[in-house]
């Protein structure tokens, strides 16, 4: 088969976060195709990361939620 394209994965941390938020934008910054980058994800050479920053519920919202669930 075809030889795999070799891309420099050490370059990823140097790219600003807003320019590597999607596979397409990260691939453009690295100079490779999104499919090549997707294969690297599937081979676990690159790890995905999402931040789970959720707003904390206030007391009124908690109370309203419990009332809704109980109704």
Over the stretch 11-69, which tens digit does the pLDDT of each residue have?
999 999 889 989 999 999 999 999 999 999 999 999 888 777 777 888 999 999 999 99
Does any domain span residue 34?
yes
Q: Is 35 among the domain residues?
A: yes
Does residue 8 fall inside a structural domain? yes
Which tokens go with 13?
Answer: 């941390």
Tell the burial category of 52 from Cβ atoms under 10 Å away from its Cβ (0-12, 13-18, 19+). Answer: exposed
Selection from 39, 33, 47 nearest residue 1 by Cα: 39
From the list 3, 2, 32, the residue with the least C-alpha distance to 15 is: 32
- Say if 38 falls within a structural domain: yes
Whether the model clears a pTM of 0.75, i.e. scores above it, the answer is no
Identify whether the C-beta of residue 30 lies closer than 8 Å to the C-beta of residue 12: yes
Per the structure, the count of domains in the chain is 1
Structural domain boundaries enclosing 42? 1-50
Answer for the pair 27, 39: CB distance below 8 angstroms, yes or no: no
């Amino acid at each position: 088969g075809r030889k795999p394209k070799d891309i420099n994965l050490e370059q990823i941390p140097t790219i600003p976060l807003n320019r590597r938020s999607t596979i397409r934008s990260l691939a453009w910054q690295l100079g490779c195709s999104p499919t090549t980058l997707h294969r690297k994800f599937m081979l676990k050479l690159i790890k995905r990361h999402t931040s789970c920053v959720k707003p904390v519920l206030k007391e009124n919202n908690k109370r309203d939620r419990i009332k809704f669930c109980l109704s």
